[in-house]
């Protein structure tokens, strides 16, 4: 059994064939999927999916790229949704210095507010970090994120940064890039970080793993991520599946 801990089945790319995509995941033994909402439209769709499918869970939060659009009303709404039994985390939240839609100070302010919200509702946080590692780590420390812990989503940093995040009570989640031939750091992280600190994800429809790179990603492909980690660690893929599933269930508080 596999769990895709980060998938966006709530976006328009799946409008035409969502049922087929979900069935392919189940056929590949991806028995649970965590759908990440990141703005009003995708959060609403994530909640609909949790009602429609017993094996789909939701994470709700406001993406840093769109931080400038987030209102106090939106944050209150996210807090109210956190009471839902199938909402298992707050995210994806963090910082994104690649896109410049939202100024850095606005992103940082919203990041701090959502960490505070997560601590209030006692849910783990799912971190989006793009070209902002130093500020992400600093703010996590300053805001006491260790208290709830969470996931460094689609981790692309160094082994040293991974260890620093683990020390703050965070899991390291690897996605499609670990399968890319030129992805030295994700491969090094997969090799060096103990399996009890790792999760697997797709971030579908983005970042499809080899040999599907450049195509639309989907949750069934999380098995390709697991196979590459198994190759790098020289262990059976069943061990990757079993341990990462156990890690995810524990982190999200999901019963088996």
pLDDT at 36: 98
pLDDT at 68: 97
Q: Which domain holds residue 43?
A: 2-252
- Give the span between the Cα atoms of 157 and 203, in whole angstroms: 17
pLDDT at 255: 87
Number of domains observed in the structure of the chain? 1
**Furthest CA-CA distance within the chain:** 49
pLDDT at 201: 98
pLDDT at 256: 75
pLDDT at 141: 97
Residues of the chain with confidence (pLDDT) below 70: none
What CATH number did the domain enclosing 40 receive?
3.20.20.140
- Give the span between the Cα atoms of 118 and 113, in whole angstroms: 9
- Give the span between the Cα atoms of 56 and 196, in whole angstroms: 23
The answer to whether 121 and 148 are in contact (CB under 8 A) is no
pLDDT at 137: 97
């Amino acid at each position: 059994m596999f769990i895709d801990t980060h998938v966006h089945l709530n976006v328009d790319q799946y409008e035409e064939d969502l049922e087929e995509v979900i069935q392919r995941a189940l056929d590949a033994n991806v028995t649970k999927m965590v759908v990440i909402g990141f703005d009003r439209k995708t959060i609403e769709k994530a909640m609909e999916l949790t009602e429609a499918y017993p094996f789909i869970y939701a994470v709700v939060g406001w993406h840093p790229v769109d931080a400038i659009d987030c209102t106090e009303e939106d944050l209150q709404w996210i807090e109210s949704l956190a009471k839902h039994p199938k909402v298992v985390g707050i995210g994806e939240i963090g910082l994104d210095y690649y896109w410049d839609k939202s100024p850095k100070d606005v992103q940082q302010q919203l990041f701090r507010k959502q960490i505070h919200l997560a601590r209030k509702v006692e849910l783990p946080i799912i971190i989006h970090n793009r070209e902002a590692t130093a500020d992400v780590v600093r703010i996590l420390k300053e805001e006491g994120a260790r208290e709830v812990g969470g996931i460094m989503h689609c981790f692309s940093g160094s082994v040293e940064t991974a260890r620093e995040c683990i020390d703050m009570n965070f899991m390291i989640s690897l996605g499609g890039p670990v399968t890319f031939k030129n992805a030295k750091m994700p491969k090094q992280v997969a090799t060096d970080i103990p399996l009890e600190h790792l999760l697997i994800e797709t971030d579908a429809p983005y970042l499809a793993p080899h040999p599907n790179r450049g195509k639309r990603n989907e949750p069934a492909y999380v098995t390709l991520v697991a196979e590459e980690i198994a190759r790098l660690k020289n262990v059976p893929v069943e061990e990757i599946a079993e341990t990462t599933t156990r890690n995810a269930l524990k982190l999200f508080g999901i019963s088996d």
